Structure 1
Amino acid sequence: MDDFPSLIERCLVALIDERADARGWGKGEFAQKVWPQDNPKSAATKWAAIRSRSANTGKPQGVLLSDAQRMAEALGEDLAYLLAVAKEKARDADIPIQA
């Protein structure tokens, strides 16, 4: 992937997914914590599209800053810190990134 900002975004998503998994939360459970105003199926679909591939485009959905903040809050973590960790992971290419 040539686009470093997109690589950071993918690393952020992977990091958040790992941290939610480490807390023992299922994908749908985490999605409901992030978007409690949405019905559970819509929230889970949104999180799946961000994590993997959107049915419409075949590419991962981008992450809005507001959604990234919601994810950080659901985890009880600081978004700036998560972004810094994601940026380091992107630099080091320590995690596999989906194109």
Structure 2
Amino acid sequence: MILMAVHEAFVAQIGNPTPEPPPGSDKILQLVRYLTWFVLLSGICGITFAGGTFAWEKWSGGTLHSPKMIAGGMLGGVIATSAGTIMNAVIGG
């Protein structure tokens, strides 16, 4: 009963605000786009390097460590490119 009174008095008045970017956020968003581009570029370079390493390991008969590198690069790319969707699912509720 007390919780209902607190809810009606305070929480119900707050409502559900919609997010709005602050003034000057266009530069921050541009920086985020640059960082996203850099993450994608480094992922492509990492997977390319791991592919070359895989070929070298197969040719020289060494132990295979590169499949883990390729899987890690691909998993990191999936997480990096879906970060916005993940945050909207967790926070946006």
Common topology (TM > 0.5): no
Taking structure 1 as the reference length, the TM-score comes to: 0.28
Taking structure 2 as the reference length, the TM-score comes to: 0.30
| Bigger radius of gyration among the two | 2
